[in-house]
Structure 1
């Protein structure tokens, strides 16, 4: 009898363990959720909005990150915001978990300001995928090589403008960037003095300041600001939105009509838009979807090339003015590899590692998009024990990543040598890749953008010198560099002097350009 009782207890033991396991799972499932990432204290309603530095939000995020960690949580009004200050964490979330982190947050200004023509801000889905597919076909790494002859030609035109009227260098760099973008997108040649067209581009680019996460979150909390009558005092936002839509629509439709006209006449050159219009006859896509994706792909390609490239090149000039020794080393490398009887071309790129290091250091030193373009979560997630809510805005602080003292000692200084080994060879071939974003939302035009910057850096350093401007007494004019505020960052005008290298004039430049194009 005792043996029978013990056997019954023995049979009950596994069943008891199963019941206890189920109860434990149930309690765990219904137990407290993981905590949000740490972050600064928040005020009722405003959250952390009033604690932000509106001119340098990336610096505020970096300061909070130093206190709360490389992944932290803030709240702006009713919106959850998760900030990432680490390249490692950004890759783990935005790349390895890209299916959950490829959306965009609701951007209150996107449609109101006409930026729905840019697929960079389009929510993740069918519309975005089609536009990006169209874009990728022309700007993937292999295809972007087709633009290089044009990019070199435009860089040489830039040299001529800088020698003739160096005081207008800001406009010349803007014209170069716009010309490259319009040529690639529409086979439209923007002349260096096409002032009306360039003026509209400048106004559109200026409107990017309304696309920052901080601005859009404020407008999401106070949507009535975009519905005020335009005549009402204080309705500046509404008036700005009306003008922005007008300018963007003109920039989208005018070059498209130009390509359509040339195609009808049989004179259209190769461009992203003409290639897509030829494919429209295949009827693989709904006409309305195709037309929208075509406009988004073409205009995004043009705008991205124009805004970011011109800013990067102006920061390059700033770096050269402040660091003349960098120019000297670069010219020695160019003279040794290329000589003085022609200009550098892309075949020389592997043999000019210091030129490449300068281009990379410009990108790291002054990130053009210091906070990237915000991502959003499709579903809630848990990372390292922290809860990330569904629909949260996720900001990758590129500026903080560029200031990682472990990777970049003396990170605030401009030191191209940090990308070279002791033998002068390039280190990581893709560093710093984070400046172009992460995951499925990484900039698809990065290869063409890098080529444009390299072409100008190599060409200008071969024939020009950059120095501080001098006052009436011949003394250097010192200045403190400052930058404008917006989604993209631009250097404010600074005094500088651009002169040809000894022995280089318009005639010599014409010979150099001719030898390169031969």
Structure 2
């Protein structure tokens, strides 16, 4: 819902009408037609047609009617939706030199300050510096291997928490994801409860989701409102932005200071920050970029892995045969006298397929994070004007029945060789984004990723020691509903709706493994 007081829809319509008339009178003729799309209303375009929840489903429906590439208009913006892998690859990969910018929303990007984060950073030298550093630290198999012991320890702690309080599964997953990424980013070891950095970053990410929701603040639709003074009627958003900017500043500065203090004291463990700072003297600009790229690493990894791991527990609840096959493979390869480790990964193809299927079945970023085209372009005879938002409908691509048989079914075997049929398309070539905006932890061949490693170790350790099943209430077995709706970052990320399941140790030996002491 738009946040405003004395600024009303009448004001919006009048402003839009003025802009429309000016463009009609002074604008040049387009060199080609826009891609097809749903007819919009005069002045406000399709703003009323795009739903607030699960927009990817509507965009996919439109794709079936209008084609793989479609045009949607909202006040002040052209949106080009790509519903096929082919269109996404041809534009975002092959033409990445002009399709790698980001739109910046006035509230979140300018007023709150998220424009300095990697997700919304304009394409240029600073963007390349962030990406180079992040890739150097986590962008290869060798680099990711350095952090595997930390991930294994945190997941073993996760097993203990789930064993003690299985009803708090979602909270345990979130805590563990935060612990892993804070350790990797800053060398910080989180507290068991009410950790100040986890709470601070959680608050900042919640504010991020609100500030960058295109429809939550009128200033995101009419950016010129950012210039009005705070006392101006209808400008209450500016005081809110000032409050959120302070939260963001603390979130950027506090863990960074912790890491620098540890380095200065000579006690810093291996981390993204220690890797970049030890033995170096940075300029003010470099210091700013290291600090912000570290926050970007955390912000990009926390909620995404939470959603996927939670969805794996949901899938195991609904598909017991899949769970049994996964556990049989673990028992045959690893045995029951120890927990699996990353050293076992290449010997567990079914677990690998299960993780791939989790990335496809619950598409964490259904429409990705939108790109922005920096020059006018013509594609397939259609005009894509400079400044258009380019939205890859990743959900549509990973649920295409022409590519994935029975896409609503959780079926890891689709990624294995079956009866001479080759595996279906690798989902990681799609789920982590495209072009120069691909998730920075992904290697160039799109097969190794920090988040992917966290998901794998969480899944394999959990399945080694726990049986996950439907709960029984009043003698009736309860089947959870499969409902992926908006998560922490509204509209951008999807998260399974809360569900109940039974999580019990598989054996007395499993309890022993869960309760083993773990320390760094």
TM > 0.5 fold call:
yes
CA pair 219-410 structure 1, distance change in 2 beyond 3 A:
farther
Which residue does 1:114 correspond to in 2? 113
Q: Which residue of 2 aligns with 1:63?
A: 61
Shift of 1:171: 1.4
Contact 1:36 1:387 in 2 (8 A): yes
CA distance in 2, matches of 1:424, 1:188: 48
Spell out the pairing of 1:98-113 with structure 2 (5 A cutoff): 98-108=96-106, 109-113=108-112
Verify the 8 A CA contact 2:116 2:292 in the aligned structure 1.
Answer: yes
Q: Do the aligned partners of residues 192 and 491 (structure 1) sit closer, same or farther apart at CA in structure 2, a change above 3 Å counting?
A: farther
Change (3 A) 1:218 1:399: farther
Distance in 2 separating the partners of 1:113 and 1:100: 27
SS at match of 1:470: strand
Residue equivalent to 1:433: 429
1:100-499 → structure 2 map (5 Å cutoff): 100-108=98-106, 109-141=108-140, 142-210=142-210, 214-215=214-215, 219-223=219-223, 237-238=237-238, 240-278=240-278, 280-281=280-281, 287-422=283-418, 427=423, 430-446=426-442, 447-471=449-473, 473-482=474-483, 483-484=485-486, 485-499=490-504
Larger Rg: 1
Alignment RMSD: 2.7
Counterpart contact for 2:471–2:502, Cα < 8 Å: yes
| More off after superposition, 290-299 vs 108-117 | 108-117
Quote the offset at 1:112 in angstroms: 2.3
Map residues 33-112 of structure 1 onto 2, 5 A cutoff: 33-108=31-106, 109-112=108-111
Residue 48 (structure 1) shift: 0.7
- Once the two structures are superposed, residues 166-207 of structure 1 have per-residue CA deviations (whole angstroms, 9 ceiling, x without a partner) of 122111111110111111111101133244433333322323
Q: Tell me, what secondary structure is at the counterpart of 1:342?
A: coil
Give the distance between the partners of 1:459 and 1:411, measured in 2 at CA. 27
Q: Using structure 2 for the length normalisation, give the TM-score.
A: 0.86
- Could you report, residue by residue, the CA deviation over 1:369-401 in whole angstroms, capped at 9, with x for unpaired residues? 111111111111111111111111111111111
Q: Answer yes or no: is the 8 Å Cα contact 1:107–1:217 preserved in 2.
A: no
Q: Secondary structure at the match of 2:494?
A: coil
CA distance in 2, matches of 1:426, 1:266: 52
- Asked whether the 8 Å contact 2:182–2:188 carries over to 1, the reply is yes
Query: CA deviation digits over 1:471-498, x for unaligned, max 9?
Result: 2x23222343432343222222212221
Cα 1:102–1:266 shift into 2, 3 Å: same
Return closer, same or farther for 1:494/1:243 CA change in 2, 3 Å cut-off: farther
Query: 2:5 — aligned with what?
Result: none
Structure-2 change in CA distance of 1:475 and 1:63 (3 Å): same
Q: Matched residue of 1:490: which SS?
A: strand
Contact persistence 2:414–2:424 (CA under 8 A): no
Report the CA distance shift for 1:222/1:348 in structure 2 as closer, same or farther (over 3 A): same
Is the contact between residue 176 and residue 192 of structure 1 (CA under 8 Å) also seen in structure 2?
A: no
- After superposing the two structures, state which structure 1 stretch, 302-311 or 498-507, moved more: 498-507
Distance 1:107 1:70 in 2: 26
Q: Is the 8 A contact 2:162 2:172 kept in 1?
A: yes
C-alpha contact (below 8 Å) 1:382/1:388 kept by paired residues: yes
Higher helix share: 1
CA distance in 2, matches of 1:407, 1:118: 35
CA distance in 1, matches of 2:342, 2:233: 54
Aligned partners of 1:425 and 1:499: how far apart in 2? 36
Tell me which residue corresponds to 2:16: none
SS state of the match for residue 83, structure 1?
A: strand
* Structure 1 position 426, deviation (Å): 8.4
TM-aligned CA distance change 1:217 to 1:385, over 3 Å: farther
In 2: Cα distance, 1:41 partner to 1:327 partner: 46
Q: How has the CA–CA distance of structure 1 residues 425 and 42 changed in structure 2, closer, same or farther, with 3 Å as cutoff?
A: closer
Q: CA deviation at 1:240?
A: 4.9
The answer to whether the 8 A contact 2:214-2:221 is kept is no
Question: Residue 311 of structure 1: CA displacement?
Answer: 1.4
Q: Report the Cα distance in structure 2 between the residues aligned to 1:410 and 1:438, rounded to whole angstroms.
A: 25
Mapped partners of 1:381, 1:216: distance in 2: 30
In 1, Cα distance between the equivalents of 2:421 and 2:157?
31
CA-CA distance at 1:232 after TM superposition = 9.9
Distance in 1, matches of 2:82 and 2:213, equals 14
How far did residue 218 of structure 1 move?
A: 5.5
- Separation in 2 of the partners of 1:374 and 1:279? 38
3-state SS, counterpart of residue 199 of structure 1: helix
Offset at 1:113? 2.9
